[in-house]
Amino acid sequence: MAAYWLVRCNCSAHFLWTFPPKSSLAMANAEGAARSVSVLLREAADRIDELERCKFNIRRVLWSFEFCLTFTFEKTASTSTATQQPLAVTENRRTTGTRKLSNVRSSSMRAGRPPLDVPGEILTTFAMAGLPTRQMSDRCGVSSRTIQRRLAQENLRKSDLYSTINDEDLDTLVMEIKRVHPNAGYKIMLGHVRSRGINIQRHRLRASMRRLDPEAILMRRLSIQTARRRQYSVPAPNSLWHIDGNHKLIRWRIVVHGGVDGFSRLIVYLDASTNNRALTVLHSFISAVGQYDVPSRVRSDKGGENVMIAQFMVQTNGVNRNSHMTGRSVHNQRIERLWRDVYENVLDLYYTVFMQMEAEGILNPDDEIELYSLHRCFMPHIQHGLHCFKEAWNNHGLRTSSHYTPLQLWLLNEKEGHWEGPHTPSTSNVSIPEIQLMRPLNAEDLAALPDTDVPLTQALGVYIETVQAMRALLLP
């Protein structure tokens, strides 16, 4: 009400100043009106001051009441138990759908409002994941300035998180990764370096790759082809997993099974095996569930290797809710797009090597002994390459997600969601024949074979020695 009279009096004074009266009577009336206006202005100002004092008193009473409650609670807790209780962390859902840690009061006995206490281990996890200060403040439910002060108290500065590795050692590391992943660009290469616990600036990695292989950078630029795709939308992490099998190496009876989270594009599992059994796929899926929890829904093709996963999802999450969805493999967008990067960064090398071995006559995919030797010598290297690619992918920035990594997207968003879609039963299957040796190998036979724990550059020599030893053991 005081603000209303203040505005009204200001408007009246402005009108009198703009249009002054011309007669003496009007002038007297105007002077009286001006005096009335000044009185009203003083009354309005007095009312505003009174309201401000009331607000201040109310705020002071609330602060005192809050401090008394905190002191009483801490005194009661200290007398009831001698051990310090862990900090209570609760979850409060905001309107944006993200998870928020509630403010936890510290045990300070100072007068006034107690400071906000943010657990140091949470700050360390967020800082090591590379989250910006604003995202940390949103997750912890405090201001950005509070996060900056707590980082300073924990001696966590973002500049200190960067590695002090020199250029020579960095070039050696990049060259080592390039031997196993020759087609890796700078983003995937940055993910490889981060997965090894080395956090460096992007410009340093670009400079290192230019020094080592400038021709490959130019070739990748010329081969870039941007495809326009439809917008893909999933509510949250663990809302929908996409699983599938890759058969690029099936000529040598090797199949790769993978799964990716639809929201964050986090690779949950990526394993190579020598069979396409449903039990093998289920073991990989269960290992991912143990690490990332059970997803709400799973999408796959109609292959018979996914039957046990479908049964597991229905038994765990219930029926009549599309816990397991099937459809055409080409419509399984997330995992099908991932296979391109898996082949380019991992499988392309082995496909080229195996084809060259066939061309030189040292590998016959129909010979059981040579195929067994191939699996024995190269399967550990293939699995190691897939594991390194998985860690690099989960730590590389995504252009369409503001350059957040899949791991950061997984940490920043709440793990829940709902999805609606069709469900049709699986009817087809891709079978891989088992290797049939003339007799099973015993412990003495396996001990006589060459050691396969060698670098990839020596795997071909070990394969040739293994074939010769196998023929000496099995052939008369």
With 0-12 / 13-18 / 19 or more C-beta atoms within 10 angstroms meaning exposed / middle / buried, residue 66 is: middle
pLDDT value of residue 230? 67
With 0-12 / 13-18 / 19 or more C-beta atoms within 10 angstroms meaning exposed / middle / buried, residue 200 is: middle
pTM of the model: 0.64
pLDDT value of residue 374? 94
Both tokens of 117, joined, read: 């206490």
What does the alpha-carbon distance between residue 113 and residue 458 come to, in Å, rounded to a whole number? 67
Q: How far is CA 102 from CA 64, 88, 94, 141, in A?
A: 21, 9, 11, 6
pLDDT value of residue 112? 67
Q: How far is CA 231 from CA 228, 235, 315, 414, in A?
A: 9, 13, 32, 21
Element (H, E) at 345: none
What does the alpha-carbon distance between residue 302 and residue 311 come to, in Å, rounded to a whole number? 14
pLDDT value of residue 428? 42
Contact 358, 374 (CB under 8 A): no
Closest CA to 378 of 340, 416, 352, 399: 352
pLDDT value of residue 251? 93
Contact 146, 424 (CB under 8 A): no
What does the alpha-carbon distance between residue 125 and residue 117 come to, in Å, rounded to a whole number? 16
Regions in the chain scoring below 70 on pLDDT: 1-35, 37, 41, 55-112, 158-160, 221-230, 414-433, 476
| CB neighbour list of residue 225: distance below 8 Å, 6 or more residues apart | none
pLDDT value of residue 424? 35
Contact 434, 275 (CB under 8 A): yes
Judged by DSSP in three states, 271 sits in strand
pLDDT value of residue 7? 44
What does the alpha-carbon distance between residue 83 and residue 77 come to, in Å, rounded to a whole number? 9
What does the alpha-carbon distance between residue 263 and residue 234 come to, in Å, rounded to a whole number? 5
Closest CA to 401 of 164, 106, 187: 187
What does the alpha-carbon distance between residue 265 and residue 337 come to, in Å, rounded to a whole number? 10
pLDDT value of residue 284? 94
Both tokens of 319, joined, read: 């029926």
Tell which CATH classification among 3.50.50.60, 3.40.640.10, 3.30.420.10, 3.40.50.300 matches the domain 240-474: 3.30.420.10
pLDDT value of residue 86? 40
Pairing of strands 91-93, 99-101: antiparallel
Contact 342, 258 (CB under 8 A): yes
What does the alpha-carbon distance between residue 65 and residue 384 come to, in Å, rounded to a whole number? 60
Both tokens of 194, joined, read: 């981060």
What does the alpha-carbon distance between residue 296 and residue 419 come to, in Å, rounded to a whole number? 8
Pairing of strands 116-117, 255-261: unpaired
What does the alpha-carbon distance between residue 252 and residue 246 come to, in Å, rounded to a whole number? 13
pLDDT value of residue 476? 64
C-alpha gyration radius of the chain: 34
pLDDT value of residue 200? 81
pLDDT value of residue 384? 92
The helix/strand count (H/E) of the chain reads as 18, 9
Closest CA to 433 of 276, 301, 319: 276
Residue listed under structure tokens 């929908």: 240
Domain ranges across the chain:
2-79, 91-160, 162-223, 240-474
pLDDT value of residue 143? 84
